[in-house]
Chain A
Amino acid sequence: MFVKNLLDKAYKMEKDKRVPVVEMRSVTKTFPGVVANECVDLALYAGEVLALLGENGAGKSTLMNVLCGLYRPDEGEIFIRGRKAEINSPRDSQRLGIGMVHQNFKLVDSMTVLENIILGMKDQGFIPDMKKVRAEVTSLSEKYNLSVNPDASIWQLSVGEQQRVEILKLLYRKAEILILDEPTAVLTPQESQELSKVIHLMRTEGKSAIFITHKMEEVMTFSDRVMVLRKGKVAAELSTSSTSPRDLAKLMVGREVLFELEKKPFQPGEAVLRLEKVCALDDRGLPALKDVSFEIRKGEIVGIAGVAGNGQRELAETITGLRRLTAGSVRIQQKDVTNAKPLTIIKAGVAHIPQDRSSVGAVGDMSVASNLAMKDYRKKPLSVGIFLIPQRILSMAKKLIDTFRIATPSPETHVKFLSGGNIQKTILAREIGSCKNLLVAVYPSRGLDIGATESVRKQLVEQRDKGLGVLFISEDIDELIQVADTILVMFEGKIMGNVPAASADPEKIGLMMAGVSQTENEGIDISQGVMTS
Chain B
Amino acid sequence: MKILFEKRKSTSVPALFLVPLFSFMVSLMLTGLVLIIFGTNPFSTFSAMAKGAFGSSNGFSETLVKAIPLMLTGLGVAIAFRLKFWNIGAEGQLTLGGVAAAWVALFLSPSIPSALLLPAVLLVGCLAGALWAGIPAFLKTRLKVDETLVTLMLNYVAVLFSEYLYYGPWRDPKGYGFPGSAPFPDEAWLPRIMGRAHIGIYFAVVAALILWVVFKRTRWGFELSIIGASQKAARYQGIAVERNIFLAILLSGALSGLAGASEVTGISHRLQQGLSLGYGYTAIIVAWMSQLNPLAIPFVSLLLAGILTGGDQVQLMMGLPSAMGIVMQGLILFPMLAGSLFTEYRIKFIRKQPKAACVEGEA
User: A388 to B219, Cβ gap below 8 A?
Assistant: yes
Report if B349 contacts A (CB, 8 A).
Answer: no
Q: Which of B191-247 contact A (CB under 8 A)?
A: 217-220, 222, 225-226, 229-230, 232-233, 235-240
Instruction: Give per-residue flags for A394-429: 1 if the beta carbon is below 8 A from chain B beta carbons, else 0.
Output: 000000000000000100011001000000000000
A363 contact from B11, B233, B356, B363, Cβ within 8 A: B233
Q: Which of A358-415 contact B (CB under 8 A)?
A: 359-366, 370, 373-375, 377-378, 383, 386-388, 390, 409, 413-414
Given contacts A233-B363, A236-B363, A417-B9, contact A360 B222 (CB under 8 A): no
Which of under 10, 10 to 19, 20 to 34, or 35 or more describes the interface residues of A? 35 or more
User: A342 to B220, Cβ gap below 8 A?
Assistant: no
Hey, which chain A residues are within 8 Å of B356, CB to CB? 28, 75
Hey, which chain A residues are within 8 Å of B358, CB to CB? 26, 28, 39, 41
B217 contact from A359, A366, A375, A388, Cβ within 8 A: A388
CB distance from B279 to the nearest CB of A (A): 30
A374 contact from B10, B237, B359, Cβ within 8 A: B237
Hey, which chain B residues are within 8 Å of A409, CB to CB? 10
User: B10 to A370, Cβ gap below 8 A?
Assistant: no
User: B363 to A413, Cβ gap below 8 A?
Assistant: no
Instruction: Give per-residue flags for A233-266: 1 if the beta carbon is below 8 A from chain B beta carbons, else 0.
Output: 1111000000000000000000000000000000
Which of under 10, 10 to 19, 20 to 34, or 35 or more describes the interface residues of B? 20 to 34
User: A413 to B226, Cβ gap below 8 A?
Assistant: no
Report if B355 contacts A (CB, 8 A).
Answer: yes
Q: Chain B residue with minimal CB distance to A389? A: B217
Instruction: Give per-residue flags for A60-74: 1 if the beta carbon is below 8 A from chain B beta carbons, else 0.
Output: 000000000000000
Report if A32 contacts B (CB, 8 A).
Answer: yes
Distance A419 CA – B219 CA, assembled complex (angstroms):
28
Interface secondary structure of A, over-half rule:
mixed
Distance A26 CA – B6 CA, assembled complex (angstroms):
24
User: A342 to B362, Cβ gap below 8 A?
Assistant: no
B237 contact from A38, A39, A342, Cβ within 8 A: A342
User: A375 to B10, Cβ gap below 8 A?
Assistant: no
Hey, which chain B residues are within 8 Å of A377, CB to CB? 219, 222
User: B230 to A363, Cβ gap below 8 A?
Assistant: yes
Report if B142 contacts A (CB, 8 A).
Answer: no
Hey, which chain B residues are within 8 Å of A364, CB to CB? 229-230
Hey, which chain B residues are within 8 Å of A321, CB to CB? 238
User: B232 to A230, Cβ gap below 8 A?
Assistant: no
User: B222 to A388, Cβ gap below 8 A?
Assistant: yes
Distance A33 CA – B10 CA, assembled complex (angstroms):
12
Instruction: Give per-residue flags for A342-362: 1 if the beta carbon is below 8 A from chain B beta carbons, else 0.
Output: 110110000010101001111
Given contacts A39-B358, A343-B238, A366-B226, contact A414 B233 (CB under 8 A): no
User: B235 to A387, Cβ gap below 8 A?
Assistant: no
User: A375 to B233, Cβ gap below 8 A?
Assistant: no
Distance A26 CA – B229 CA, assembled complex (angstroms):
42
Q: Which of B325-363 contact A (CB under 8 A)?
A: 355-356, 358-359, 362-363
Hey, which chain A residues are within 8 Å of B355, CB to CB? 75
Distance A363 CA – B236 CA, assembled complex (angstroms):
11
Distance A233 CA – B362 CA, assembled complex (angstroms):
8
User: A414 to B10, Cβ gap below 8 A?
Assistant: yes
Hey, which chain B residues are within 8 Å of A233, CB to CB? 362-363
Given contacts A230-B363, A236-B363, contact A383 B233 (CB under 8 A): no
Given contacts A39-B358, A230-B363, A378-B219, contact A366 B10 (CB under 8 A): no
Report if A133 contacts B (CB, 8 A).
Answer: no
User: B229 to A363, Cβ gap below 8 A?
Assistant: yes
Distance A383 CA – B233 CA, assembled complex (angstroms):
20
Hey, which chain B residues are within 8 Å of A15, CB to CB? none
Report if A43 contacts B (CB, 8 A).
Answer: no
Given contacts A346-B238, A363-B230, A366-B229, contact A388 B218 (CB under 8 A): yes
Distance A364 CA – B355 CA, assembled complex (angstroms):
37
Distance A361 CA – B7 CA, assembled complex (angstroms):
23
Q: Chain A residue with minimal CB distance to B218? A: A386
Report if A106 contacts B (CB, 8 A).
Answer: no
Distance A409 CA – B217 CA, assembled complex (angstroms):
24
Hey, which chain B residues are within 8 Å of A359, CB to CB? 230, 232-233
Given contacts A363-B230, A383-B219, A386-B220, contact A32 B236 (CB under 8 A): no
CB distance from B250 to the nearest CB of A (A): 18
A-B contact pairs, 28 of them (CB 8 A): A32-B6, A39-B358, A39-B359, A75-B356, A234-B363, A236-B363, A321-B238, A341-B238, A342-B238, A343-B240, A345-B238, A346-B237, A359-B230, A359-B233, A360-B233, A361-B236, A363-B233, A364-B229, A364-B230, A365-B230, A370-B225, A373-B222, A377-B219, A377-B222, A386-B219, A387-B219, A388-B217, A409-B10
Known: A33-B9, A356-B232, A360-B236. 15 other contacts (CB 8 A): A32-B6, A39-B358, A41-B358, A321-B238, A322-B235, A341-B238, A343-B239, A345-B238, A359-B233, A361-B233, A363-B226, A377-B222, A386-B220, A387-B218, A388-B219
8 tightest Cβ-Cβ pairs between the two chains A and B: A343-B238, A39-B358, A342-B238, A235-B363, A26-B358, A363-B229, A365-B229, A360-B232
Q: Which residues of A contact B (CB under 8 A)?
A: 26, 28, 32-33, 38-39, 41, 75, 230, 233-236, 320-322, 341-343, 345-346, 352, 354, 356, 359-366, 370, 373-375, 377-378, 383, 386-388, 390, 409, 413-414, 417
